[in-house]
Structure 1
Amino acid sequence: MSSGSYAMEQPTSFDMEKDARAIHAGSEADPGKIALGVIIGRSSEFFDFFVYAIASVLVFPTHFFPMYDHLTGILLSFCVFSLAFIARPIGTVVFTVIDRLYGRGTKLIIALFVLGGSTAGIGFLPGYDLIGYWAVGFLVIFRLGQGFALGGAWDGLASLLALNAPKNQRGWYAMMPQLGAPIGFILASGLFAFSYASLHLEDFLTFGWRYPFFVAFAINVVALFARLRLVATGEFGSMLDRQELKPVKTSDLLRTHGMDVLIGTFTPLASFALFHLVTVFPLSWVSLYSQHEITSFLLIEMVGALICVGTIVLSGILADRIGRQRLLAIAAGVIAIFSLAAPFMLEAGEAGEEAFVLIGFAVLGLSFGQAAGAVSSHFGRVYRYSGAALTSNMAWLIGAGFAPLVALGLASTVGLGYVGLYMFSGAACTLAALALSRKLRSSDG
């Protein structure tokens, strides 16, 4: 029996999506509704992301790696942290097949429940003192599960938002999905700061750190229903019917848009590297080498994230005035300059550490605000859905997956100056990718 006839005989989420679209036929998927769904979805994903990242510094070194010194424990935690980014592109490829065969609703439900289940599972894990290396093994499995699920959680709403944006406001709508990152960070940092400040250290390390992981599961369930509700709208369905936002085979995507995938992977490198260098890395540096109190530093980072919200919004305004590519190039140049000053800030005590975070978040927002739009802008409509998902996850792997591990390893062994050099290399990659993109577009024209 052919796969086509099998798909016709077996009930899939395609049928449910069509029924839901019929029910909501009068509901228009206007940009405002889509933007709300995108922000909710991205905020939930980044909340999961940062809950794990913060715990990698504050909890996991003593909970899973107590046999090592604190620096080695954090480095090992960052090694496990990186596994999710390796699993993300794999998840994208696998869930693309699920999407093509069984529908977007089925894919989203599986992906988000695997994500939430893996996150909640980490919250239940006993430590090394109770089950030994089994604890580390389960942590690795759940972390791979998080990354695998995130690779499949792409719902296409960001692409739908871009396609529905007025031509003179594409930068404005492109920045909206990016707001999920600072919002998720604020929520995760706030929960950890409250728990850390409210409990004795022993209680925090025993049970206090687990609550954010359980909250993450609940948020994922809410986000799932919000996103499925938008998938069922009439306009979204009509775009699917015109094959503008349908999954395509990865082999077809790479054959048609291989160079665009490569350029899109390296274009946001400056932003994605800086992303971890102002969130996860400074928290690890402060916990090891600074007298800065953890709760107050988390609050400073939350202020930085609020500043990031403002500069992400500003990026939307600027991109519509000067162009997205030009803004990304300018932001990469600013990141390169910031990389030269960063080591001096981190060596300047508490005031310098705070300045590094606040300035870093401000710069991050200008670049990160347009990073997602740059990744997907060169794909044709038929390939945009799958192309944006694969390229984004490849960019996260190369640009951000190993950033905390590399930065802390360099800072602890050869000095903070090499962290600045690492940051500078990300800016250079972005500028090179933008230059190659312009060259290819001009030759095509």
Structure 2
Amino acid sequence: MDTPAGHSPLAPGEIAVGVVIGRASEYFDFFVFGIACVLVFPSVFFPFVDQLQGMLYAFGIFPLAFIARPFGTALFMTIQRHWGRSTKLTAALFLLGTATAGIAFLPSYASLGGWSIALLAFFRVLQGLALGGSWDGLPSLLSLNAPPRRRNWFAMLGQLGAPIGFLLANALFLYLTLSVDSEDFLSWAWRYPFFVAFAINVVALFARLRLVLTHEYTLALEESDLEPISTREMIRKQGRNILLGGFAALASYALFHIVTIYPLSWIVAQGSQGIDQVLTVQMFGAVAGILGTIASGLVADRIGKRTTLGLMAVVIGVLSLFAPLLMGGSALQQDLCIVAGFLLLGLSYGQASGTVTANFERRFRYTGAALTSDFAWLIGAAFAPLVALGLSIEFGLWAVSGYLLSGVACTLLALRINRRIGNNH
């Protein structure tokens, strides 16, 4: 993209910093909630059932954020059209931080009864609305500003926030479980990660506003026709592409929470390893995920994004056949499965963003990318922890393999349809 005379170009590296910081902060919030669904919420909010049933109840609240997310996108796109990008981003991240910190102040079920569960669900919905509104267009702008032969490398940077956010959330919970006894952890220490999430959001907000409010950023968005479009118009004119984008990376999104959240719940339910051991192994897994995400950019620049996504979907299918044997085996086998799963997640999820963005007319790409991401999360990842844990307890680990294989089939079919659409154009 050419920059008008008299204006400084917006360097891809500068955009990349904003993308990584922004995404890592959002993922940190969500991973703190996901880990708490296993380690905290069953005892604090669902003490009237056993631990396993408590995890299933907590995982029932977990998807509410993903259900609310498309509505958040629609709401905050309206705010942006009327009051601008900075107002939208500030309001969305303030809401996200406030909802997350609000969870930290929640009384337990023993103190407030069923209202504590209702408030937990309410704050979870607010998290989803806020995350939908936090879309700043930076990934789209980064892709358009990146050198043509390195666009997949730069596209990877937005996805890098996921393993980084998980590493930070996991490390904080590990530190707390090692520092205090279980009684103190469930009484007050579990609240600290949610306070930290608020602080991280404040830092991320200023880092992103510093870029979003620049004149160069505004010019770059205007030149690229990256503008907020009403959701109604998007669905009417680009509904097929949004749906196709939601399914194109389904294998990656299905794998996402099955690798990050589900193993902890399964191992805790089975009692096959200590919590500290699992959290430690998951930190090594997060590092493997970071390396895999970086590698995905190199691979995709050589063979193409869609080919990479299709190839990784096949590998996910292969892993799903071995995963039951590993997760049902010894502690070492479980650890191997977790680390291998994270590595594959990085390779796959690293290119899961913007798979069908080229299908959108230029003016629809800003809102289209946001809604496509919303529906990909909703279809592929929102219910994964609940479904995976429920299936594995009721039918065995092989049922989880079937769940993953269905995601693989959807991805391969969507990529095939997308290729035909591309050929027709």
Q: Is TM-score (shorter-chain normalized) higher than 0.5?
A: yes
2:424 corresponding residue in structure 1: 443
**Structure 1 segment 365-380 matched on structure 2, within 5 A:** 365-380=346-361
Counterpart Cα distance in 2 of 1:239 and 1:252: 23
Identify the residue that residue 334 of structure 2 maps to in structure 1: 353
Identify which of 79, 98, 103 aligns with 2:79: 98
Per-residue Cα deviation, 1:212-251 (whole angstroms, up to 9, x for no partner): 1000000001100111111122321113333611101122
Separation (CA, whole Å) in 1 of partners of 2:253 and 2:178: 30
Matches within 5 A, 1:29-178: 29-178=10-159
Q: Which of 333, 340, 363 in structure 1 is aligned with 2:344?
A: 363
Matching of residue 409 in structure 1 with residue 393 in structure 2: no
> Structure 2: where are the runs of 5+ without partners?
1-5
- CA deviations 1:298-343 (Å, max 9, x no partner) are 1111111111111111110111111111111100000000111111
Alignment of 1:9-408 (within 5 A): 28-242=9-223, 244-408=225-389
- What displacement does 1:27 show? 5.5
Q: Residue 278 of structure 1 aligns to which amino acid in structure 2?
A: V
User: 1:291 deviation in Å?
Assistant: 2.5
Deviation readout 1:117-161 (Å, 9 max, x if unpaired): 000000011100001011001101100000111011100001110
Contact 1:29–1:234 (Cα < 8 Å) also in 2: no
Look up the equivalent residue of 1:417 and give its one-letter code. W
CA deviation after TM superposition for structure 1 residue 375, in Å: 4.7
* Structure 2 CA distance for aligned equivalents of residues 362 and 220 of structure 1: 27
In 1: Cα distance, 2:241 partner to 2:163 partner: 28
CA contact 1:28–1:233 (8 Å) conserved in 2: no
Deviates more, 1:376-385 or 1:427-436: 376-385
Separation in 1, partners of 2:296, 2:181: 42
Partner of residue 418, structure 1: 399
Work out whether residues 250 and 407 of structure 2, in 8 Å CA contact, stay in contact via their aligned partners in 1.
yes
Give the aligned CA root-mean-square deviation in angstroms.
Answer: 1.1
CA distance in 1, matches of 2:417, 2:295: 26
Output the amino acid matched with 1:61.
P
State the distance in 2 between where 1:112 and 1:168 align.
33
The answer for unaligned runs of 5 or more in structure 1 is 1-24
- 1:27 and 1:214 map into 2 onto residues whose CA distance is 38
Structure 1 contact 27–234 (Cα < 8 Å) conserved: no
* Counterpart-to-counterpart distance in 1, 2:245 and 2:29: 25
- How far apart, CA to CA, are the structure 2 residues paired with 1:334 and 1:373? 21
Q: Is the 8 A contact 1:185 1:305 kept in 2?
A: yes
CA distance in 2, matches of 1:374, 1:308: 20
Q: What SS does structure 1 have at the residue aligned with 2:171?
A: helix
**CA shift at 1:26, angstroms?**
6.2
Residues 315 and 370, structure 1, Cα contact 8 Å, conserved in 2: yes
User: What is the number of equivalent residue pairs in this alignment?
Assistant: 420
| Residue 411 (structure 2) pairs with residue 430 (structure 1) | yes
Instruction: Output the CA distance in 2 between the equivalents of 1:375 and 1:190.
Output: 35
Q: Separation in 2 of the partners of 1:300 and 1:28?
A: 43
Structure 1 stretches of 4+ moved >3 Å? 25-28, 240-243
TM-score (norm 1): 0.93
Residue type matched to 1:403 in 2? A
Does the aligned pair in 1 maintain the 2:7–2:216 contact within 8 Å?
no
Percent identity over the alignment? 53
TM-score, structure 2 normalization: 0.97
1:290, 1:349 within 8 Å by CA — same for their partners in 2? no
Query: Are the equivalent residues in 2 in contact too, given 1:265–1:375 (CA < 8 A)?
Result: no
Query: Does the aligned pair in 2 maintain the 1:290–1:350 contact within 8 Å?
Result: no
Q: Distance in 2 between matches of 1:147 and 1:394?
A: 12
Q: CA deviation at 1:351?
A: 1.2
Contact 1:410 1:416 in 2 (8 A): yes
